């Protein structure tokens, strides 16, 4: 089964943060379904998130979580991507 790199945005009080995950699924449609199920439980304390286009809102719309993109990848490429975005290069 192919791997997919998933980018999720989280907006709270106008602060935007991105999260990246690796999903293994039979196709992009299944990867999207798995990601939406994951996002539905993104905030543990809110048992009643509101569904919106490509995501959910939590705490009475105080937190917005959206699926930004899904791209087919490999585990190695995903590791390289994470290493690149979490490395400070001072050279």
pLDDT of 89: 79
Determine what percent of the chain falls in helix, strand and coil, rounding each to the nearest 5: 25, 40, 30
- CATH code of the domain occupying 3-85: 3.10.20
Q: Looking at residue 87, what is its pLDDT?
A: 92
> Distance between CA 57 and CA 65 in Å, rounded?
6
Residue boundaries of the structural domains of the chain: 3-85
- Across the 91 residues of the chain, what is the mean pLDDT of every consecutive 10-residue run? 97 95 97 96 90 95 96 97 88 68
- pTM, to two decimals: 0.89
**Which parts of 1-91 fold into alpha helices (H)?**
28-40, 75-85
């Amino acid at each position: 089964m192919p791997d997919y790199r998933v980018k999720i945005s989280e907006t709270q009080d106008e602060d935007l943060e991105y999260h990246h995950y690796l999903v293994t699924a039979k196709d992009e449609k299944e990867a999207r379904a798995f990601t939406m199920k994951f996002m539905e439980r993104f905030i543990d304390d809110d048992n009643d998130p509101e569904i919106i286009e490509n995501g959910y809102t939590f705490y009475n719309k105080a937190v917005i979580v959206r699926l930004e993109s899904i791209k087919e990848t490999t585990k190695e490429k995903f590791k390289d991507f994470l290493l690149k975005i979490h490395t400070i290069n001072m050279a």
